[in-house]
């Protein structure tokens, strides 16, 4: 697998047959977290992964910071995103058909619109670290997600 980022699903990929790994919130979070991921393809050695993310209606993923170069595509629904930058906060709504680049190191909250959300992410993270989960202030790292972890969770879900 090369390091070229791709915002298209592979030819013949059947979204209906994807294996999903669910993530939820907990007492550390004061917003509704309900999303799942499915790895489309990955190569730990090159630091490349393409994965789908699916949110329940009006639900969030964890507040996070991207660590690798990422391209994203909205497949279904709407992505409501709040980007936190040094001197500004930006709110965006991205609809099905959107394709774009996520800057390295970007910190943001994202949530699904009222009908849910499905996105494709294509990431090049040479050290294997995809993103950091942050506390509510964005000042403390709670966890780091890696390509290897995503693959381990996918393998466990497929075996269940």
Q: Which residues lie closer than 8 Å to 12 by C-beta, 6 or more apart?
A: none
pLDDT tens digits in sequence order for the chain, 160 residues long: 667 788 888 888 898 899 999 999 888 788 899 999 999 999 999 999 999 999 999 999 998 998 999 999 999 999 999 887 778 888 999 999 999 988 777 788 999 999 999 999 999 999 999 999 888 777 889 999 999 999 999 999 888 7
Backbone φ, ψ for residue 136 (5° rounding):
-60, -25
Total-model pTM: 0.91
Extended beta strands in 10-137, E state? 21-24, 34-43, 48-55, 64-66, 69-84, 89-95, 99-102, 107-124, 129-134
CATH of 20-159, one of 1.10.3720.10, 2.60.120.10, 3.30.1460.30, 3.10.20.30: 2.60.120.10
- 136's enclosing H/E stretch is none
């Amino acid at each position: 697998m090369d390091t070229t980022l791709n915002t298209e699903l592979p030819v013949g990929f059947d979204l209906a047959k994807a294996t999903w790994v669910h993530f939820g919130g907990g007492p550390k979070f004061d917003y509704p977290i309900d999303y799942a991921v499915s790895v489309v393809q990955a190569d730990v050695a090159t630091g490349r992964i393409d994965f789908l993310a699916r949110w329940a209606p009006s639900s969030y993923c964890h507040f996070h910071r991207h660590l690798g170069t990422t391209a994203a595509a909205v497949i279904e629904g709407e992505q409501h995103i709040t980007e936190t930058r040094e001197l500004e906060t930006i709110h965006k709504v991205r609809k099905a058909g959107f394709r774009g680049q996520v800057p390295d190191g970007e910190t943001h909250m994202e949530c699904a619109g009222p009908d849910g959300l499905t996105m494709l992410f294509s990431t090049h993270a040479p050290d294997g670290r995809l993103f950091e989960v942050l506390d509510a202030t964005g000042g403390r790292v709670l966890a780091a997600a890696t390509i290897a972890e995503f693959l381990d969770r996918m393998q466990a879900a497929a075996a269940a």
